[in-house]
């Protein structure tokens, strides 16, 4: 080295150069040789020793300083936590082959982009203003949305560097949504649908908070961002147990405003606004690292305003739904009283009608005895 200091020479795993930071004669030679097996020792005599050999020529007054430097080297080299690179803070080069970050959103106003704009507005606006009145429409939408989010996240995190086309990915996700829509229409899925819409309402609130800042709310930790989102989701799911109506109106307003804002943002900012933020939040595919390094999430003023408006409108619309639509969310007829059960109680065998009763019970209320199928 130029200052006359000698490097730290090793024949093992590490090779580090220590400059004469305090004194050129502080550390003239510091070496260790790793232990070798007996066979290797016989074939290479003198090349290894089971002991740690150290030779240091220092001034006597600087002996303690040399010990400090050695201690710091050992501490920072061996006791330091493992370095785990993160794509949001370190421009790493992934060992996996990289390709386009396929997510199905299309580009500008392509067919997939138009489909998602229409879908977000058609589903989001009714949920935001009258979700508590939707009854079966709301339960169907909740299962459909849950199926679509899970299928979309699973696909984008599992495709290879080639990916699949946006239109094909959109079609697959919509098929999952259609299946969820059909399941959510029936009575047997009513409780599960209410739980799904409540959890999704909390998750939507958490994502609104996380996506207001450049590179997500907590830039240095992907896990902490999701912890925030999950806490909101779990909290809203627990609210359904003790305050079911409050959980339903808040969740419907939250999901509805989130989808509505997403559709408006797609119209204004195309795929560089809230859509890109959702991809940063959901997509951890190794094959998409290079894409996200080249396309960081940096919401403009319009996207941030839409997010804050969505957060502010959620409690307002929830309260409005509670005051305007006073009917209970479940429109099943009340159980008969004891007097009604005593009158004309059938004593004959009605096993022939059990199949018909079962099928009609699946779609309870289709005869509109207790309410109407309305949005």
Please state the domain extents for the chain. 9-78, 111-324
Averaged pLDDT for residues 224-242 = 91
For residue 10, what pLDDT is reported?
Answer: 39
pLDDT category at 341 given cuts 50, 70, 90 is low
Instruction: Tell me what the pLDDT averaged over the chain comes to.
Output: 72
Tokens of 181: 């829509």
Indicate if the pLDDT at residue 109 is higher than 70. Answer: yes
Tokens of 278: 């959702």
Length of the chain: 375
> Which of the four pLDDT bands, split at 50, 70 and 90, describes residue 332?
low
Mean pLDDT of 137-143: 91
What is the Rg, in whole angstroms, of the alpha carbon atoms belonging to the chain?
32
DSSP per residue, 43-84:
HSTTS--SS--------GGGHHHHHHHHHHHHHHHHSSPPP-
Helix (H, G, I), strand (E, B) or coil at 32: strand
pLDDT digits (tens, 9 = 90+) for 275-322: 888 888 888 877 777 778 888 888 889 999 999 999 999 999 999 999
Per-residue pLDDT at 7 exceeds 90? no
| Confidence label for 134 from pLDDT (cuts 50, 70 and 90) | confident
* Torsion on CA atoms 180, 185, 186, 187, rounded to nearest 10: 110
Question: Is residue 176's pLDDT more than 80?
Answer: yes
Q: Which of 33-37, 130-134, 288-292 is predicted with the least confidence, judged by mean pLDDT? A: 33-37
d(CA 123, CA 143): 13
104 torsion bin: left (phi>0), alpha (psi -120 to 50), beta (else): left
Establish how many alpha carbons lie within 13 A of residue 129's alpha carbon, considering only the half-sphere containing its beta carbon: 7
Residues contacting 262, CB < 8 A, separation 6+: 120, 124, 274, 275, 278
CA–CA dist 364, 164 (Å, integer): 41
What pLDDT, on a 0 to 100 scale, did the predictor assign at position 350? 55
Q: 10: which strand partners?
A: 32
Question: What integer pLDDT is reported at residue 156 of this predicted model?
Answer: 87
Mean pLDDT for the stretch of residues 208-220: 84
pLDDT in tens, 181-199: 999 888 888 889 999 999 9
Residue 250: which residues within 8 A CB-CB, separation 6 or more? Answer: 201, 236, 239, 314, 315, 318
Claim: this prediction has a pTM higher than 0.75: no
The whole-number pLDDT of residue 175 equals 93
Looking at residue 347, its pLDDT comes to: 54
Place of tokens 């960081």: 296
> E-strand spans in the chain?
9-10, 31-32
Give the other-Cβ count within 10 Å of 121's Cβ: 17
Q: What are phi and psi of 116, to 5 degrees?
A: -70, -30
Q: Give CA torsion, residues 109, 110, 114, 120, to 10 deg.
A: -90
Q: Among the ranges 54-58, 79-83, 227-231, which has the highest mean pLDDT value?
A: 227-231
Q: Select the more confidently predicted residue: 336 or 321.
A: 321
Helix count and strand count (H, E) for the chain: 13, 2
User: Whole-angstrom Cα distance, residue 339 to residue 358?
Assistant: 25
Helix residue ranges per DSSP H, 243-273: 244-269
**For the chain, percent of residues with pLDDT exceeding 70:** 61
- Give me the residue label for tokens 């008969």: 336
Q: Count CB neighbours of 35 within 10 A.
A: 12
Among 7-11, 37-41, 332-336, the least confident range: 7-11
Q: With bands split at pLDDT 50, 70 and 90, how would you rate the model's confidence at 2?
A: very low
Of the candidates 235, 243, 256, 253, which has an alpha carbon nearest to the alpha carbon of residue 324?
Answer: 253
């Amino acid at each position: 080295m130029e200052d006359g200091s000698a490097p730290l020479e090793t024949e093992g795993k590490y090779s580090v150069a220590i400059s004469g930071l305090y004194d050129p004669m502080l550390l003239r030679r510091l070496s260790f040789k790793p232990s070798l097996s007996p066979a290797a020792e016989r074939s290479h005599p003198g090349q290894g020793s089971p002991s740690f050999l150290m030779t240091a020529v220092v001034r006597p007054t600087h002996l303690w300083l040399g010990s400090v430097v050695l201690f710091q080297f050992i501490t920072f080299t061996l006791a330091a936590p493992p370095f785990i690179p993160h794509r949001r803070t370190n421009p790493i080069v992934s060992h996996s082959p990289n390709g386009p970050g396929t997510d199905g959103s299309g580009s500008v106003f392509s067919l997939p982009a138009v489909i998602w704009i229409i879908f977000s507005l058609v589903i989001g606006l009714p949920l935001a203003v009258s979700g508590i009145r939707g009854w079966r429409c709301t339960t169907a939408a909740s299962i459909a949305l849950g199926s679509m989010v899970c299928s979309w996240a699973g696909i984008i995190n599992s495709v290879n560097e080639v990916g699949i086309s946006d239109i094909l990915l959109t079609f697959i996700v919509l098929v999952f949504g259609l299946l969820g829509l059909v399941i959510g229409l029936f009575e047997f899925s009513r409780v599960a649908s209410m739980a799904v819409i409540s959890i999704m309402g909390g998750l939507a609130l958490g994502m609104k908070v996380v996506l207001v800042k450049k590179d997500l709310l907590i830039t240095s930790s992907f896990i902490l961002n999701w912890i925030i989102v999950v806490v909101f989701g779990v909290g809203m799911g627990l609210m359904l147990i003790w305050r079911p109506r409050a959980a339903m109106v808040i969740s419907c307003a939250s999901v509805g405003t989130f989808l509505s804002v997403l559709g408006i943002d797609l119209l204004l900012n195309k795929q560089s606004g809230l859509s890109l933020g959702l991809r940063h939040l959901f997509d951890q595919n190794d094959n998409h690292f290079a894409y996200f390094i080249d396309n960081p999430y940096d919401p403009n003023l319009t996207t941030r305003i839409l997010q804050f408006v969505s957060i502010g409108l959620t409690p307002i619309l929830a309260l409005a739904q509670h005051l305007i639509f006073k009917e209970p969310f479940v429109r099943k007829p009340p159980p008969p009283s004891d007097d009604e059960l005593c009158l004309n109680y059938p004593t004959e065998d009605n096993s022939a009608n059990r199949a018909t009763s079962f099928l009609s019970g699946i779609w309870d209320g289709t005869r509109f005895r207790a309410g109407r199928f309305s949005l």
